[in-house]
Chains A and B, each alone.
Chain A
Amino acid sequence: MPDDPSNPLIRARGLTKRFGEFTAVDSIDFDVAVGESFGFLGPNGAGKTSTMRMIGCTSPITGGTLEVMGMNPAVHGPQIRARLGVVPQQDTLDSELTVRENLAIYGRYFGLSRAEVGRRADELLEFAQLTERANDQVEPLSGGMKRRLTIARSLINEPTLLLLDEPTTGLDPQARHLLWDRLYRLKQRGVTLVLTTHYMDEAEQLCDRLVVMDKAKIVAEGSPRELIERYSTREVTELRFAPGIVETLDGRLDGIAQRVEHLPDRILLYADDGEAAAVAVNQRGLKPETVLVRRSSLEDVFLRLTGRSLIE
């Protein structure tokens, strides 16, 4: 039963994608439940986009099994795509058409009637705050507007499942917050969201549950809070030293924190009480140029799991 709510909306087992010799996705397993907001977190090249394209039925799988809404993408591609909304990483708006025409023709591709398409296009222009630009060409729009139009376009068929590949990459903070707000409203309406991101704040804002991907594999899975609890401490103390000092520290930070991480530009002390760690550093006579105590984030989880920063 494809629409039984107890069945996952997406189910992947041993899902693999190879391009020639290169393995982009290496035997991953995951389920996405109906109504859930699910994220793939990882750096560029981790295999997130390849996974999204396989779910979107525009990239044949190389191995394993994949079911979307209980159907096999290799057999029922058109039926699955009829109920998907896709926001690709790069905007693929039709530059030969106006803003409103982009929405209208897209609805027609889904077989909606002209009247229905017109009604939905007006609604979506409102939703995307683009009503005033309805009859403008697409090209002069700002990055944020194009992104909102792409999201509006993906909603024209009232999808059950919305796939968002790096939805806010390259946008300024204000545009990102507006987009997050729109996505949050969709989630409240019961749309299942699957997104990829390399922004921890985005993942924390939008995802009920996420998997961390690195080098084509899933390395961890859970809610943002669970992942932070499992792989990091409650707080982090960031120390920045003047150039040349770090090399002379030589074990003088040992024992202050549960874990010490050396990054090129700073040192991270993982401790449940960050303030106490900062005081201990001071007591040992060390004089960092800046000290910052903050809560752990998914960035720390990623660093712990892979030994690398998320954004390089």
Chain B
Amino acid sequence: MITLRVTPAFALGSRRSARLIERNLYVYKHGWMVILSGFFEPLFYLLGIGFGLGALIGTIAGPGGEPISYQLFVAPALLASSAMNGAITESTFNFFFKLNYNKTFTSILATPLSPGDIALGELGWALIRGGLYALGFMGVMVALGLVVSPWVILAVPAALLLGFAFGAVGMAATSFMKTWQDFDLIQLVVLPMFLFSGTFYPLDAYPDALRVIVQLTPLYQGVDLIRSLTVGAISPILLFHVAYLAVMGIVGLAITSRRLDKLLLK
């Protein structure tokens, strides 16, 4: 049987994907308050855990081994986690709704846009949102005197890269979801990653075998990357983190594009 594809197999989206971002701007013009919530979540964690719990802990060993304040230890990890959570929310719940209920994508495919454009555009929007949060959080870190290295400038693009990786994989996973109940599975993966990826305490707490497993999780890549940049502990391992997250994002995007093709262009 001959199967003719309507779009090329690896269309990862074109410039037209920017229209999707524009659409989301229209939507949030009506409900911009919703966006603010994503800013307060990491801030509350920072105040509650960083300063509350931090007062009891004092200093802790940083990425380079040197002692740093607990607040400085936990703040970059919260930046990483919020980048992940923001990307996951946008790419799972919101994406599922648009795909299955709003029929937004069906109507968009009648225009020159392709499934690849949709995937890229939606991800682009998630990143813009994530970027705003990262900048806001960075402002708070400056205000609280948690800036010790000029490398911290790169923490914002690093948070975006992390958002890209999780957003792309989140969309790919969502494209396989049938019901809202399936989202419990995502929480089952995201919550332990948030708690155990070296977010709140150093990896020394783990036995060797477990530590290796944690070091392979995607959130750990982001936490270690952003924390190292924040304190200025630059090492080659950071390049590995970047490559890991970039590949994860590209693979996620390619799967999403293929899945949308299959789901929407029947």
Is there an interface contact between A109 and B103, defined as CB atoms closer than 8 Å? Answer: no
The 8 Å CB contact of A94, one of B2, B22, B107, is: B107
The 8 Å CB contact of B6, one of A58, A92, A105, A157, is: A58
Is there an interface contact between B112 and A82, defined as CB atoms closer than 8 Å? Answer: yes
Is there an interface contact between A111 and B103, defined as CB atoms closer than 8 Å? Answer: no
The segment out of A39-47, A60-68, A248-256, A271-279 that lies at the interface is: A60-68
Is there an interface contact between A81 and B26, defined as CB atoms closer than 8 Å? Answer: no
Is there an interface contact between B27 and A97, defined as CB atoms closer than 8 Å? Answer: yes
The complex places the Cα of A182 from the Cα of B113 at a distance, in Å, of: 27
Q: Verify if B3 is at the interface (C-beta below 8 Å from A).
A: yes
Is there an interface contact between B16 and A111, defined as CB atoms closer than 8 Å? Answer: yes
Q: Verify if B211 is at the interface (C-beta below 8 Å from A).
A: no
Q: Verify if A224 is at the interface (C-beta below 8 Å from B).
A: no
Name A18's closest neighbour in chain B (CB-CB): B1
Is there an interface contact between A110 and B111, defined as CB atoms closer than 8 Å? Answer: yes
B contact residues around A86 at 8 Å (CB): 110
Is there an interface contact between B2 and A63, defined as CB atoms closer than 8 Å? Answer: yes
A contact residues around B4 at 8 Å (CB): 60-61, 74
B contact residues around A153 at 8 Å (CB): 107
0/1 per residue, A80-116, Cβ < 8 Å to B?
A: 0110101010101111110001001110111100000
Task: For residue B206, give the distance in angstroms from its CB to the closest CB of chain A.
Answer: 44
0/1 per residue, B1-27, Cβ < 8 Å to A?
A: 111111100000000100100110011
The complex places the Cα of A272 from the Cα of B111 at a distance, in Å, of: 49
Task: For residue A165, give the distance in angstroms from its CB to the closest CB of chain B.
Answer: 11
B contact residues around A97 at 8 Å (CB): 23, 26-27
With A62-B1, A63-B2, A97-B27 in contact, do A106 and B106 touch (Cβ < 8 Å)? no
Q: Verify if A56 is at the interface (C-beta below 8 Å from B).
A: yes
A contact residues around B23 at 8 Å (CB): 94, 97, 105, 108
With A93-B107, A109-B111, A111-B16 in contact, do A58 and B102 touch (Cβ < 8 Å)? no
Task: For residue B112, give the distance in angstroms from its CB to the closest CB of chain A.
Answer: 4
The complex places the Cα of A84 from the Cα of B113 at a distance, in Å, of: 13
Is there an interface contact between A101 and B26, defined as CB atoms closer than 8 Å? Answer: yes
The complex places the Cα of A77 from the Cα of B112 at a distance, in Å, of: 7
Q: Verify if B100 is at the interface (C-beta below 8 Å from A).
A: no
Is there an interface contact between B6 and A77, defined as CB atoms closer than 8 Å? Answer: yes
Is there an interface contact between A84 and B266, defined as CB atoms closer than 8 Å? Answer: no
Is there an interface contact between A109 and B108, defined as CB atoms closer than 8 Å? Answer: yes
Is there an interface contact between B27 and A96, defined as CB atoms closer than 8 Å? Answer: yes
The 8 Å CB contact of A81, one of B1, B103, B111, B264, is: B111
A-B interface pairs (CB < 8 A), number: 86
A contact residues around B113 at 8 Å (CB): 78, 109
Name B104's closest neighbour in chain A (CB-CB): A94
Is there an interface contact between A58 and B264, defined as CB atoms closer than 8 Å? Answer: yes
Task: For residue B261, give the distance in angstroms from its CB to the closest CB of chain A.
Answer: 9
The 8 Å CB contact of B265, one of A59, A92, A96, A110, is: A59
B contact residues around A108 at 8 Å (CB): 19, 22-23
B contact residues around A101 at 8 Å (CB): 26
Considering only residues 225-242 of chain A, those with a C-beta below 8 Å from chain B are none
The complex places the Cα of A61 from the Cα of B2 at a distance, in Å, of: 9
A contact residues around B109 at 8 Å (CB): 58
Q: Verify if B71 is at the interface (C-beta below 8 Å from A).
A: no
Name A114's closest neighbour in chain B (CB-CB): B22
Task: For residue A281, give the distance in angstroms from its CB to the closest CB of chain B.
Answer: 51
B contact residues around A61 at 8 Å (CB): 4
Name B22's closest neighbour in chain A (CB-CB): A108
Q: Verify if A142 is at the interface (C-beta below 8 Å from B).
A: no
Q: Verify if A73 is at the interface (C-beta below 8 Å from B).
A: yes
Name B4's closest neighbour in chain A (CB-CB): A74
The complex places the Cα of A147 from the Cα of B3 at a distance, in Å, of: 34
Is there an interface contact between B110 and A84, defined as CB atoms closer than 8 Å? Answer: yes
The complex places the Cα of A90 from the Cα of B103 at a distance, in Å, of: 10
Write the residues of chain A forming the contact surface with B, with a CB cutoff of 8 angstroms.
Answer: 18-19, 53, 56-63, 73-74, 77-79, 81-82, 84, 86, 88, 90, 92-97, 101, 104-106, 108-111, 153, 157
Task: Give 4 closest A-B pairs by Cβ, nearest first.
Answer: A92-B107, A109-B111, A74-B4, A78-B112
A to B CB contacts below 8 Å, 25 in the list: A18-B1, A19-B266, A53-B266, A57-B6, A60-B3, A60-B4, A62-B1, A62-B2, A77-B6, A78-B114, A82-B112, A86-B110, A88-B110, A92-B103, A92-B106, A94-B102, A94-B107, A95-B102, A104-B26, A105-B19, A105-B26, A106-B111, A108-B19, A153-B107, A157-B111
Given A77-B114, A82-B111, A97-B27, list of 18 further CB < 8 A pairs?
A56-B110, A58-B265, A59-B266, A60-B4, A61-B4, A81-B112, A88-B106, A88-B107, A92-B106, A93-B107, A96-B26, A105-B23, A106-B107, A108-B19, A108-B22, A108-B23, A109-B113, A111-B112
